[in-house]
Structures are given as C-alpha cells and as structure tokens.
Amino acid sequence: LQGIFVLGLPYALLHSGYSGLFLIILAAALCCYTGKILIACLYEENEDGQLIRVRDTYEDIANACCKKLFPKLGGIVVNVTQMMELIMTCILYLVVSGNLLSHSFPSVPVTEKTWSVIAFVTLLPCVFIKTLKIVSKLSQLCSLVHFIIILVVMTYCLTQIHQWSWAKFRLSIEFEDFLVSVGVIIFSYTSQIFLPTLEGNMKNPGEFRCMLNWTHFFACVLKSAFALSAFLTWGEETKEVITDNLPSFLQTVVNLCLLTKALLSYPLPFFAATEIAFACISRGNHPRYRSPLFALSVRGSLLLLTLLMAMFIPHFALLMGLTGSVTGAAMTFLLPSLFHLKLKWKKLAFSEKCADISVFILGFLCSLAGIVCSIKGLLEVFG
C-alpha cells in the first residue's frame, strides 16, 4: 500500500487540486471495500450457518462464477491477468533500479540498461524463495526503507514551512491531467492480487477485515500528509517523482534508498507469479513437477524473462500504463464486485448490491480513461 507510486502523489495533486485530496480518501475506502468482498467470495456458509473457506485463490473464485457455462474460462482469464500485472510489476522494478543507479552515479560511463543488469544480479537469490515467510521479512525491510524516504522528504518540507501557501492549489483542472491523477492515486492502493494468499497465510484469518481497515486508514493518512506537504513546498515546480525536487545532497541518498526499496519490493510479485505458474503447470500432479530442480528452473525462467523484457521493450512505461489500466482496474474493481454479485446475490442487501454495481461502473470508467490516455501517449511517441 506504500509503493513507489506514493512518490507521484504530489504531482497528482498538482493536476487535481483540492479534488486530489478527496480522491486519496475515496480510493482508500474503495480499495479496502473491494479487498473485503474479494475475501468474502472465498467463504460459504455450512448447514450450521458457519463460514467455511471453500476456495483458496482468485482463480478458484473465478471458476466458481463461470462453472455453469465455461468451467475453466474464469480461472484462465484471472491467471493471465494476474501474471501480466505481476510480471509487468517485476519488470518495472528492474527499469526503475537501472534509472536510479544511472542518476545516482552520473559520472560512471555505464548505460541505464547495464545498470538494470547489475541490479538483476542482486535479485538472483529470488529463485530460492519457497515460502511467503521469507517474502514477508523482505517486505518488512522494504517498509522500513520506505518510511526513511518519507521521513527525509517530509522533514525537508517542514523546514520550508514558511513558504507554504494554500493559494498553490488549483480550483480549475484539465480533464486529461485529472485522469492521470486518478490513475496514480487509485493504483497506489492496489493490493487485491495478494490478498487471498495473504489471508490464507495469516495466523488469525478472522482479523483480516480489521487489518484491512487499519492499514488503509494509516496509508490514507500518510499519503495525504506526504502529498500535501510536498506539494505546498514546491507548488507548480512539483516534478513527476518528488525526490527529483530535493537538493542534490539529499537526492543521491534518497535515490539509493529508493533503489533498495525497489529491489526489496521485487520478491513479492515474483513469488506470487511463480505460485500461479506452479499451480497452472502442476495440475496433472506428475511427480517431476514436484522436483526441486524443476521448481528452480521455473523460477529461473521467470526471473530471466523479467530481465529480457526490461532490456528490449521500448517505451515500457507507456506500455505499463496501458497494461495497468486494463489489469489494475480489472483486478481491483471490476472482478471483485462482479464475483461478489454473482456468488452472494441472494444474501446481499439492496445497499450492498448498489455498492457493488457502483464500484463496477467506476472501475470500468477508470479503465477506459486509462486506456485512452495510454494509447494517445503511445501514438504520440510512435508518431
């Protein structure tokens, strides 16, 4: 919930004005809600009225919704969508790592792609990750580094508090710029892909809803405070990545922290992608699919794939925006609300049905707007 997207929030406020602050709060509420209804789809009531976990993954939920017409279609669509987003996320971390290293050491005669390869070498131990427990430790370190970055930026902003002015906020906004802001804000909260695995691995799954409420609340408070203080400090000069606004002596330190964060963030989507790959490959339950050597080769292949795509896909950021607009909106808004309506329709109150339908429509509009903006950007690049 506190990914690299957070560094783009001040820039989002530049283009969305006061409505951006409202969007940060609304996005937290909506993403928290879709997380809850997605997990609700994993459970069914037994004869005694007790909730029993009858499904384990996003794929299981999709197959349950499509079992009457196309028993496997839902799972295939979900798996393809998840894999696309997870692999794209891994590639993005490699691209970002190369970019940060090249900016941190501009005097070193090394290209950005070469820096990405150097960053990739540090990620090779990921092929040996077998459990979520290891990933959680790395994610904990990632969160620590993130808070250091936020602390450095906000401390600097507070030293400039005498320059703050609410007059910097825009009342009128450009529609296209506003759509970009919506994308940045909403997708800074997305975590639905990981939730079924996360809830299934919790010691006390009954605390999941409470955990989701508190994490989204604190994420909302931190994002709002960070975006607001940074925007009030730099105003119209706010850059796409706020760390670029920092003085040079702080910028190098923060860039190296961001590099550490990007590398520590990589294992989570990579682990999730390998789990999906294993689930798809080993359905036949053949003994060789359970061998350690086979598992190692699958992880190694996926790891290498992320490097090759980071190296050879031109204009990756724009393609990431296009893919994210489709997969991000689908996994965060469209599918959770659709699955919840399908599986729980008879038990839902009228207000819950209205809420799910509203979230679905909102997700569709966000996805459509993001696709249009991304395609427009690609057309401009390719002339």
Q: Write the burial class of residue 254 (CB in 10 Å: 0-12 exposed, 13-18 middle, 19+ buried).
A: buried
* CA-wise closest residue to 31 among 227, 181, 187: 187
Task: Give tens-digit pLDDT for 122-174.
Answer: 999 999 988 888 888 888 898 899 888 888 999 999 999 988 887 777 766 67
Token pair 């203080």: residue:
229
Angle between helices 267-281 and 73-104 in degrees, nearest 10:
150
In whole angstroms, what is the distance from residue 158 CA to residue 244 CA? Answer: 17
CATH of range 4-382; options 1.20.1740.10, 1.20.1340.10, 1.20.120.140, 3.40.190.10: 1.20.1740.10
Say which residues have a Cβ less than 8 Å from residue 51's Cβ, sequence separation at least 6: 43, 44, 45
Model pLDDT, residue 211: 94
What pLDDT shows up at residue 30? Answer: 92
Q: In this structure, which amino acid lies at residue 122?
A: T
What is residue 96's predicted lDDT score, i.e. its pLDDT? Answer: 84
What does residue 191 show for φ and ψ, rounded to 5 degrees? -150, 10
Q: What is the pLDDT of residue 212?
A: 94
Amino acid in the structure at residue 13: L
Beta carbons of 46 and 270 less than 8 angstroms apart: no
Q: What pLDDT score does 73 carry?
A: 78
| pLDDT score, position 241 | 78
Q: What global pTM score does this model have?
A: 0.82
Least Cα distance to 58 among 77, 44, 71 occurs for 77
- pLDDT tens digits along 321-372: 666 667 778 888 888 999 999 999 989 999 999 999 999 998 888 778 777 7
pLDDT of residue 171: 66
- How far apart are the two ends of the chain, measured CA to CA in Å? 36
- Asked if 289 and 277 count as a contact pair (C-beta separation under 8 A), the reply is no
Provide the 3-class DSSP secondary structure of residue 279. helix
Residues in the chain with pLDDT values less than 70: 1-3, 171-173, 283-290, 314-325, 383
Cα 17 versus chain centre, distance: 24
Interatomic CA distance for residues 325 and 346, integer angstroms:
31
pLDDT at 284: 55
For residue 268, what are the contacts with CB-CB under 8 A and spacing of at least 6?
Answer: 135, 138, 139, 194
| For the chain, domain boundaries | 4-382
Q: Please give the pLDDT value at position 380.
A: 77
Whether 97 contacts 119, CB under 8 Å: yes
Q: In the prediction, which pLDDT does 123 show? A: 94
